[in-house]
Structure 1
Amino acid sequence: MTAQHTRPAATGTRPGLKLRAVISGSVGNLLEQYDNLVYAYSTVYLSAHFFVGGSTSALLSTFAVFAVGFLARPLGTVFFGHIGDKLGRRPALLASVILMGAATVLIGLLPGYQTIGLAAPVLLVVLRLFQGFAVAGEWAGSAAMLVEYAGPRSRGRYGSLNQVSTAAGFLVAAAVVALNSLFWSEQGMLDFGWRVPFLIGAVTAIVALLLRFGLEDTPAYQAQEAAGTTSDSPLRLAFRTQKTAMARGFFFTVSWTVAYFFFLTYLPTHLHKQVGLDSSTVEASNIVGLVVLTVAIFGFGVLSDRIGRKPLLLIGSGGFVLLSFPVMWLFQTGSVAGVYFGQVLIALVLAAFSGPGPAALAELFPTNVRYSALGIGYNFSVMAFGGTAGFIATALIDVTGNALVVAALPTAAAVITFVTVCLMPETYRTELK
């Protein structure tokens, strides 16, 4: 049946159930983000294992495969959004985590180019597509579930846990890759050691499944289901009624995703390859930045429930407009202190946007199409701008010979998002539809 909007209340949920939902939504997202991002922090080893040619061409190929994974996000959004809006958030999130864990482990088991030739990079592409398909369902489902479990005055705080867990996924992936490298020689890492972080994907999938089995669906979805207002075709309904909101979600996400994948996944490779910093300094500074980001996101989410989403979103997107070139110049100096300072500064600016971001997106859409519509706006933008950040940055340097020119990428993206936020309504005091 075609949905009619109701106003489901997220209050009255048993405290124990709400706590379990928060843990399931955030920790499950963390573990799936780990599976997705461990590839990005292993690019040096993956390029040597799956590709032939010079170091630059192999690295470009590795980043290209990382970007290819994002091409599957629209399909994943359609598939998991349909399940999540029609059958509930829980079954969609269970299917997503199973698929992600399987794909990650299989990457860790793949033979290399020297063993099976061209089949090695081809299979790597296929598995990255499965990863992209799976993670498209996870992020939107986690954001929807956390916001829908929140009370009307705590959606920023609850929604921020989606980004806390996303940043923590980056942090755990970076930390596991860095710690793993301590137990192997450089040759040992090339031979087998790089596989270990991927094989850990089996553990992350099992943990996420245990957290989500037996979990009830959100109060918002249950109220809609009880009222008989779920839609048999949520995707069709979303495109008929939410085109403007989905377009806002798309442009809203541009700077957000470029900042994440430029500063948190491409930057370590840049600092090592272009600036010439040793691996230990790069890894340590990256982890410090990720710790600051993870902690600060929650604080900004709480603050957004008090002062609104827009002021913080404007600080975050405007900060990248003003600071991307100065920070990249600071990195180019090669100063160790400058690298740490730059990492922390970027983390704080990104946290200002990421804290209120999930709630601001979720508040744009009604419950009966929230999973689908939120996912479409977000994941199509991530596909177009996030996964390509590392590839474009590497190609820009290769073409121009100027390492600083890459700062144009986060700057341009931030201008788009800043304008979008200026045109968005303030939603922190509105009820979920």
Structure 2
Amino acid sequence: MPSHPLMRHRRALMATSVGNLLEQYDNLIYAYSATTLAALFFPGSRGTAGVLSTFAVFAVGFFARPLGTVVFGHIGDRFGRRPALFISVVVMGAATALIGCLPTHETAGNWAPAMLVLLRLVQGFALAGEWAGSAAMLVEYAPEGRRGVFGSFNQVSTAAGFLLAAAVVAVNEAVFPDDAMLSFGWRVPFLLGAVTAVAAAFLRLGLEETPAFVEQESGTAQRLNPLRSAFTHQKFAMLRGFGFTVGWTVAYFFFLTYLPTYLRTDAGVPAGVVNASSLAGIGVLTVSIFLFGLWSDRIGRKKLLLAGSGGFVLLSYPVMALFSTGSTAAVYGGQILIALVLGCFSGPGPAALAELFPTTVRYSALGIGYNFGVMAFGGTAAFIASAITAATGSGPAVAILPTAAALITFLTVCAMPESYRSPLR
């Protein structure tokens, strides 16, 4: 087990980031497989109705997040970040692999979508513990003056999880013909969840607790119930965390999960162009998150957070109008522009959110603010967007969703103090 501080920092950075990447992959292959899953599990619903049903099941997973937040937050604040993150990644991998083993509607009838819903609930439960725990651990492990760049790896790995999921699904679609995809090929990305779980669990086995948690545990203060303490002393901070998350989560799940389906089904963009442009955009996002996180340690979090949330207020409609043209150049240009704006917020985002809360309740309170925001707005973003498009028949009209959500976050950030130079509580 590494004992030198630099080695501990690197081990924590790798184990936490790679575990989060693989868990995000497990969650997102469902969204990138939406059109295939619609045909297999909701065959009676044609076209838009089938996609709506599939995205509704995707949203269901997010409704298990409050329970996951309570359970993993308690474990993480009371017994340590490490056991909570280890359990989370194992549960997530098992649920993903089981989705790959499900019978389809053709063989199991209505039991098939029912089992799919159940496993999405398990995935949502596990993911609630992952995001908050990885953000807390990265920021608590960061050397002085580097919380922004260390915290950014929470989002670098999240974006990389999107990238990995999109890449695996794209390769899978290229390898398997249509008939083979519907009979077996669709299962392959989900079955890989077993591999990702083993890899992530192995990385986290030897991980040490964060210095901030160890220092807290060595103190003489009475240990309180983390959840009760969070609601007693951190109500306003958690409410701020909720508002902080609204625009952020809508941007992620609108532009990175709904958009590929919209481009295919509504804008008439060829699947190859959609897959390639998505990969290009997510690649730019992954790199830009790191750079903006690094920058936030030098100029502060707030300027970048305002630029990112304000960017979505101003640009969501023009970008959707650009996408609706179906032009290949417009699709690539729009994807890259969105990636840069999202990276501007996501780079400093984890550190800024973690800095709102003290170590004693950080896992619980951060998780409550973040996961309730994701449950309410992130998980439902693709479903609501699909419904708006179906109701209005207008692609650009759907931009009202990310615009309104970003405005909430912009106003929340305006009221937040700058925290990049303040000591971690």
Task: Work out whether the TM-score is over 0.5.
Answer: yes
2:22 counterpart residue number? 31
Distance in 2 of aligned mates of 1:211 and 1:223: 24
Give the residue type in structure 2 aligned to 1:160: S
Q: Is the 8 A contact 2:37 2:54 kept in 1?
A: yes
Distance in 1 of aligned mates of 2:14 and 2:144: 19
Distance in 2 of aligned mates of 1:358 and 1:310: 12
Change in 2 beyond 3 A, CA 1:230/1:169: farther
1:157 counterpart residue number? 149
Distance in 2 of aligned mates of 1:397 and 1:182: 28
Q: CA deviation at 1:57?
A: 1.2
2:8 counterpart residue number? 17
1:207 counterpart residue number? 199
Distance in 1 of aligned mates of 2:403 and 2:225: 38
Instruction: State TM-score, norm by structure 2.
Output: 0.98
3-state SS in 2 of match to 1:72: helix
- The worse-fitting range, judged by mean Cα deviation, of 25-34 and 393-402 is 393-402
Give the residue type in structure 2 aligned to 1:129: L
For the pair 1:241 / 2:233, whether they are aligned, the reply is yes
For the pair 1:179 / 2:171, whether they are aligned, the reply is yes
Give the residue type in structure 1 aligned to 2:16: G
Change in 2 beyond 3 A, CA 1:44/1:336: same
The structure 1 residue matched to 2:337, chosen from 329, 332, 345, is 345
1:370 counterpart residue number? 362
Distance in 2 of aligned mates of 1:185 and 1:63: 24
CA offsets, 1:342-367, max 9 Å, x none?
Answer: 00000000000000000000000000
Q: CA deviation at 1:195?
A: 0.6
Give the residue type in structure 2 aligned to 1:48: A
For the pair 1:105 / 2:89, whether they are aligned, the reply is no
Distance in 2 of aligned mates of 1:101 and 1:19: 24
- The worse-fitting range, judged by mean Cα deviation, of 14-23 and 169-178 is 14-23
Give the residue type in structure 2 aligned to 1:410: P
Change in 2 beyond 3 A, CA 1:419/1:193: same
Q: CA deviation at 1:13?
A: 6.0
Segments of 4+ in structure 1 off by > 6 A? Answer: none
2:56 counterpart residue number? 64
Distance in 1 of aligned mates of 2:224 and 2:130: 21
For the pair 1:44 / 2:51, whether they are aligned, the reply is no
The structure 1 residue matched to 2:247, chosen from 249, 255, 260, is 255
Map 1:278-289 onto structure 2 (within 5 A).
278-289=270-281
Q: Is the 8 A contact 1:69 1:128 kept in 2?
A: yes
Give the residue type in structure 2 aligned to 1:36: N
Give the residue type in structure 1 aligned to 2:33: S
2:302 counterpart residue number? 310
3-state SS in 2 of match to 1:372: helix
Distance in 2 of aligned mates of 1:227 and 1:394: 51
3-state SS in 2 of match to 1:39: helix
Distance in 1 of aligned mates of 2:22 and 2:220: 34
Q: Is the 8 A contact 1:289 1:347 kept in 2?
A: yes
- Percent identical among aligned pairs is 67
For the pair 1:227 / 2:227, whether they are aligned, the reply is no
Distance in 2 of aligned mates of 1:229 and 1:206: 37
Change in 2 beyond 3 A, CA 1:54/1:216: same
Distance in 2 of aligned mates of 1:253 and 1:230: 31
CA offsets, 1:374-416, max 9 Å, x none?
Answer: 0000000000000101100111111112122110000000100
Q: Is the 8 A contact 2:321 2:395 kept in 1?
A: no
1:399 counterpart residue number? 391
Q: CA deviation at 1:227?
A: 1.1
For the pair 1:379 / 2:367, whether they are aligned, the reply is no
3-state SS in 1 of match to 2:100: helix
Map 1:120-131 onto structure 2 (within 5 A).
120-131=112-123
2:85 counterpart residue number? 93
Q: CA deviation at 1:249?
A: 0.2
Give the residue type in structure 2 aligned to 1:44: T
The structure 2 residue matched to 1:296, chosen from 288, 305, 320, is 288
Count residues with an aligned counterpart.
422
Distance in 1 of aligned mates of 2:385 and 2:4: 47
Distance in 2 of aligned mates of 1:160 and 1:368: 22
Q: CA deviation at 1:231?
A: 2.9
CA offsets, 1:268-291, max 9 Å, x none?
Answer: 000000000110000000000000
Instruction: State TM-score, norm by structure 1.
Output: 0.96
Give the residue type in structure 2 aligned to 1:215: L
3-state SS in 2 of match to 1:54: coil
Q: Is the 8 A contact 2:97 2:190 kept in 1?
A: yes
Distance in 1 of aligned mates of 2:57 and 2:371: 17
Q: Is the 8 A contact 1:157 1:298 kept in 2?
A: yes
2:161 counterpart residue number? 169
Q: CA deviation at 1:53?
A: 2.2
Q: Is the 8 A contact 2:93 2:194 kept in 1?
A: yes
Structure 2 gap ranges (5+):
none
1:4 counterpart residue number? none
2:126 counterpart residue number? 134
The structure 1 residue matched to 2:415, chosen from 413, 419, 423, is 423
The structure 2 residue matched to 1:336, chosen from 324, 328, 331, is 328
Distance in 1 of aligned mates of 2:33 and 2:223: 42
Distance in 2 of aligned mates of 1:59 and 1:183: 23
3-state SS in 1 of match to 2:424: coil
Q: CA deviation at 1:230?
A: 6.7
- The worse-fitting range, judged by mean Cα deviation, of 397-406 and 419-428 is 397-406
Q: CA deviation at 1:334?
A: 1.1
For the pair 1:388 / 2:380, whether they are aligned, the reply is yes
2:316 counterpart residue number? 324
CA offsets, 1:204-255, max 9 Å, x none?
Answer: 0000011000211000000111114473410000000000000000000001
Q: Is the 8 A contact 2:92 2:126 kept in 1?
A: yes
